[in-house]
Amino acid sequence: MTSNFSSTVAGLPRIGAKRELKFALEGFWNGTTDGRALAQTARQLVNSASDALTDLDSVPFAGRSYYDAMLDTAAFLGVLPARFDSIPDHANDGLPLWIDRYFAAARGTAEQPAQAMTKWFDTNYHYLVPELAADTRFVLDASALIEDLHCQQVRGVNARPVLIGPLTFLSLSRTTDGSDPLDHLSELFEVYGRLLQSLDSEWVQIDEPALVTDLSAELLAQVRAGYQKLAAREGIFVNTYFGSGDQALETLAGIGLGAIGVDLVTHGITALEAWKGEELLVAGIVDGRNVWRTDLCAAFASLKRLAARGPIAVSTSCSLLHVPYSLDAEPNIDTEVRDWLAFGAEKIREVALLAQALAGNIDTAAFDAASTALASRRTSARTAASTQELPGRARGSFATRVALQEEALQLPALPTTTIGSFPQTPAIRSARARLRSGALTQAEYEEAMRGEIDLVIKKQEELGLDVLVHGEPERNDMVQYFAELLDGFLVTANGWVQSYGSRCVRPPVLFGNVSRPAPMTVSWFEYAQSLTKKHVKGMLTGPVTILAWSFVRDDQPLAATADEVALALRAEIADLIAAGAQIIQVDEPAIRELLPLREADKPAYLKWSVDSFRLATAGAPDEVQIHTHMCYSEFNEVISSVIALDADVTTIEAARSDMQVLSALKSSGFELGVGPGVWDIHSPRVPALSEVSGLLDAALQSVSPRQLWVNPDCGLKTRGWPEVEAALKVLVAAAEKARAELGAAI
């Protein structure tokens, strides 16, 4: 018999509190350290993750992960893409033999593109999308995981392996032959059956966040049957998160599983009667993906109600992957706001306090402190509801705008442009570091940044691009930059959260009312525009993206917070126009990512997200051209919102998905300007002229020449100058060739 546990967390971050994995990966990739060092760092991270949970009685354990859990799963299921099969096994130095194929799948090679990458549900974490086909066969090799598990057991840790479940793995996969990845479901359940037998831990956690999405009754029946078989092994804990646990309870209760986990933060459960107390209910009551302190009294009351119906354990609503490690690493946070916050370590403590309380041992001092902090947050002037009256959200008709803009801008057909950033060179990063350390004064730093702007304007003119950008050298990050300049946000010193692979972000905390004390981008724009006769785009990050990439206050509707950000941007746009900007880009790469997972919740989100963008941009006169940019996503589902944004020009990631977005635009009768990316900037390849020309030809099948812009997929800050120059040369040449071919047609 397995014994129930009482306290745990759904999962842990892997990158390291000091981003140890990031630095180890980078060292390994650029050859400055060997495989042994990387394997060692990864092992230490697993150990220190377990050690942080000594107050809890069950420890989630994902093994050493070198990039992404979906990719790890693809690797041990033997389904890394076949195009990397020719890469030989890695010499035995403590890394798995397949590691070189694994990194190739994650990052691409000079010859082969990487696997696609996209957002993990509605979070800002990116996973690598498995590539399957109808004839894919799974070849299980979990030896690395088993070995790591033994290491934890030897250390005396009650480790609970965490796997991504068959339903979720397949739901998030793509196929290369148009077949349905879920056709593999029963086969994969069998493979998992074997995998579970080989893991000799008391508990195994299988994550099935896909169970909170809309699924057909037929599929749910298959999932139930699959888990019924897996339940032959004792101690199976199926965890769900990012939405209501109702469907999971209705599907999985009463089939002999050991535990079912539900997210009580994103959504309460209403289908509690489905749970008869036969399984342990793992109650995700501490928010795993936001940074607000838990109301311990309220949480305890909910837990007691659940505990009256059956055995429960206290947990986080999802993996702590999505929040920073600890407030201890933040010496400089505003003391009033600090008290409102809980990062990873503080959340672990909250779980422990709640579990102790359930066991009859209430730490009254800790409960009182939580109540006091909550009261201070509720009554602070910085969170008081705004009573501001909002201006309009509509511009003139598109036809009117086009006529005025053509007149004002005088651009060639098929104008070429870039998305905003140019390479963030070591010189730029070092200037920023020296500013932080005091080695550079603000004036010296600004001088250095102006030097970078000189350089990118000159390069763009040499390349013959039509609409220029200032290159964003002054922005460490497209959201953090604005968060640092707006009131109502705080930024952390060390609050790193993994975004993908070795990449981390430090999401700002949007804790209170947002306002703009002073212009944020105007002087950089003015300087760049003073250097050229061509148009320079004003460059801003949109309200939805600012919210999506921040930890946002949960004490008022997101729509109200988005409008506050939009008003600040609207004022910035007015100032940019006053300074001479005729084209302003408001980036919304994240608009797809906040899309709710369930159909029923989507319309309300799409309304407020579009509304906030329009509130930000509608103050611009009709002759000013508003651009937006989107990426990292499949847009087909939000295409009507892309249209409703009413941006004059939308640049959009498309090269990796073979311009699929265009057919959706075509069938929706899209008539606004569009720049489908013709260079996949996430791959280190410089595209050939024929490739870019082919993509432009494909684009012209779907949109008229008058609509089409020519640009890369995304910003260029992560690339190096040589490839950027080479690729942009190709891009400009392809635009010229297309113009010549279109001739009189444009």
Catalytic center residues: 682
Minimum distance of ligand GLN from residue 127's CB (angstroms): 17
- In this structure, what token pair is assigned to residue 403? 């006529």
Contact positions toward Zn ion, by CB under 5 A?
589, 631, 714
Q: Is 312 in the site for ligand GLN (CB under 6 A)?
A: no
Q: How far, in Å, CA of 623 to CA of 148, rounded?
A: 62
Q: What mask of x and - would describe binding to ligand GLN in positions 713 to 732, judged by CB under 6 A?
A: -xx-x---------------
Residues at the annotated binding site for 5-methyltetrahydropteroyltri-L-glutamate? 22, 124, 503-504, 549
Residues 6+ positions from 498 with CB-CB distance below 8 Å: 13, 14, 15, 125, 321, 504
Q: How far, in Å, CA of 455 to CA of 383, rounded?
A: 43
User: Residue with structure tokens 């949007």?
Assistant: 510
Minimum distance of ligand GLN from residue 686's CB (angstroms): 19
Minimum distance of ligand GLN from residue 712's CB (angstroms): 9
Q: Whose Cβ is closer to Zn ion: residue 210's or residue 714's?
A: 714
Q: Whose Cβ is closer to ligand GLN: residue 575's or residue 587's?
A: 587
- Angle in degrees, 0-180, between the axes of helices 35-51 and 143-154, rounded to the nearest 10: 50
Q: Is 474 in the site for ligand GLN (CB under 6 A)?
A: no
Q: Whose Cβ is closer to ligand GLN: residue 133's or residue 463's?
A: 463
Q: Which does 420 bind (CB under 5 to 8 A by kind): ligand GLN, Zn ion, none?
A: ligand GLN
Q: Would you report the helix, strand and coil content of the chain in percent, each value rounded to 5?
A: 45, 15, 40
Q: How far, in Å, CA of 44 to CA of 578, rounded?
A: 55
**Neighbouring-strand partners of residue 247:** none
Q: Binding segment for ligand GLN among 96-104, 356-364, 693-701, 709-717 (CB under 6 A)?
A: 709-717
Q: Is 676 in the site for ligand GLN (CB under 6 A)?
A: no
Q: Which does 478 bind (CB under 5 to 8 A by kind): ligand GLN, Zn ion, none?
A: ligand GLN
Q: Which does 717 bind (CB under 5 to 8 A by kind): Zn ion, ligand GLN, none?
A: ligand GLN
Integer angstrom CA distances of residue 75 from 25, 81, 167, 384, 460: 18, 10, 17, 50, 42
135: left (phi over 0), alpha (psi -120 to 50) or beta: alpha
Q: Binding segment for ligand GLN among 119-127, 231-239, 352-360, 712-720 (CB under 6 A)?
A: 712-720
Q: Which does 421 bind (CB under 5 to 8 A by kind): ligand GLN, Zn ion, none?
A: ligand GLN
Classify the C-alpha dihedral 276-282-288-289 as positive or negative. negative
Q: Is 253 in the site for ligand GLN (CB under 6 A)?
A: no
Q: Whose Cβ is closer to Zn ion: residue 497's or residue 631's?
A: 631
Q: In this chain, which of 346, 587, 646, 680 binds ligand GLN, going by CB under 6 A?
A: 587
Nearest to 708 by CA among 412, 415, 404: 415
Q: Is 419 in the site for ligand GLN (CB under 6 A)?
A: yes
User: Residue with structure tokens 């899309």?
Assistant: 595
Tally of CB atoms within 10 A around 220: 17
Q: Binding segment for ligand GLN among 9-17, 361-369, 418-426, 454-462 (CB under 6 A)?
A: 418-426
Cα-based angle 121, 122, 124 (whole degrees, multiple of 5): 100
Q: Whose Cβ is closer to ligand GLN: residue 235's or residue 542's?
A: 542
Q: Is 629 in the site for ligand GLN (CB under 6 A)?
A: yes
Q: Whose Cβ is closer to Zn ion: residue 507's or residue 677's?
A: 677
Minimum distance of Zn ion from residue 548's CB (angstroms): 13
Q: In this chain, which of 243, 261, 288, 420 binds ligand GLN, going by CB under 6 A?
A: 420
**Neighbouring-strand partners of residue 535:** 467
Longest dimension (CA), the chain: 82
Q: How far, in Å, CA of 711 to CA of 161, rounded?
A: 45
Q: In this chain, which of 56, 357, 573, 631 binds ligand GLN, going by CB under 6 A?
A: 631
Q: Whose Cβ is closer to Zn ion: residue 589's or residue 673's?
A: 589
Classify the C-alpha dihedral 524-677-673-744 as positive or negative. positive
User: Residue with structure tokens 């113009």?
Assistant: 739
Q: Is 478 in the site for ligand GLN (CB under 6 A)?
A: yes
Amino acid at 454: D
- In this structure, what token pair is assigned to residue 630? 């989107």
- H-helix or E-strand spanning residue 117: strand 117-119
Task: Determine contact, residues 121/597, Cβ cutoff 8 Å.
Answer: yes
Residues at the annotated binding site for L-methionine? 419-421, 472, 587
Cα-based angle 703, 705, 709 (whole degrees, multiple of 5): 85
Q: Among all residues, whose Cβ is closest to ligand GLN?
A: 715
Minimum distance of ligand GLN from residue 554's CB (angstroms): 25
Q: Is 421 in the site for ligand GLN (CB under 6 A)?
A: yes
- H-helix or E-strand spanning residue 576: helix 558-578
Residues at the annotated binding site? 22, 124, 419-421, 472, 503-504, 549, 587, 629, 631, 653, 714
Q: Is 471 in the site for ligand GLN (CB under 6 A)?
A: no
**Contacting residues toward ligand GLN, per CB under 6 A:** 419-421, 472, 478, 539, 587, 589, 629, 631, 714-715, 717
